[in-house]
Amino acid sequence: MPENGSYSNPMQVFKKETHTLLEPTESNFEAFLKEFNKDSFKKEHLVINLLRSFNLSPDNLNVLSKMAAAKKEQGTSFVLVSETIEIDALEDEMLSVVPTLIEAQDILDMDAMERDLGL
């Protein structure tokens, strides 16, 4: 047990007015994914902030792409915030990747407009 008496959590969860912000605290994608799968974020719009965490492998991106597709089917948003993912290299258009949290909010707003218009 750590000195402060609490266990380390592989991610921090911040409930915002329009979405839930997830910030991995580990440098390990598998630990983050295991913790992510413990919770059910089915009805929540998600932003995953990867700015201070791990780099993603192509396999990791594939897993996140499947998660994004499931979120879209549920009528919710899924946005990754990362400066290290080459957007042009992504083959999957379901995966929204932006370099800043401000741009993530813009994507959430655009997704909401598309849902409102039935697109």
Contacts of 19 (CB under 8 A, 6+ apart): 44, 45, 46, 47, 77, 108
Dump pLDDT digits (tens) for 32-54. Answer: 888 888 877 888 999 999 988 87
Mean pLDDT confidence for 2-25: 78
- Which pLDDT band, with edges at 50, 70 and 90, does 6 fall under? very low
- pTM comes to 0.84
| CATH topology assigned to domain 11-117 | Transcription Regulator spoIIAA (3.30.750)
Is the separation of the CB atoms in 49 and 81 below 8 Å?
A: yes
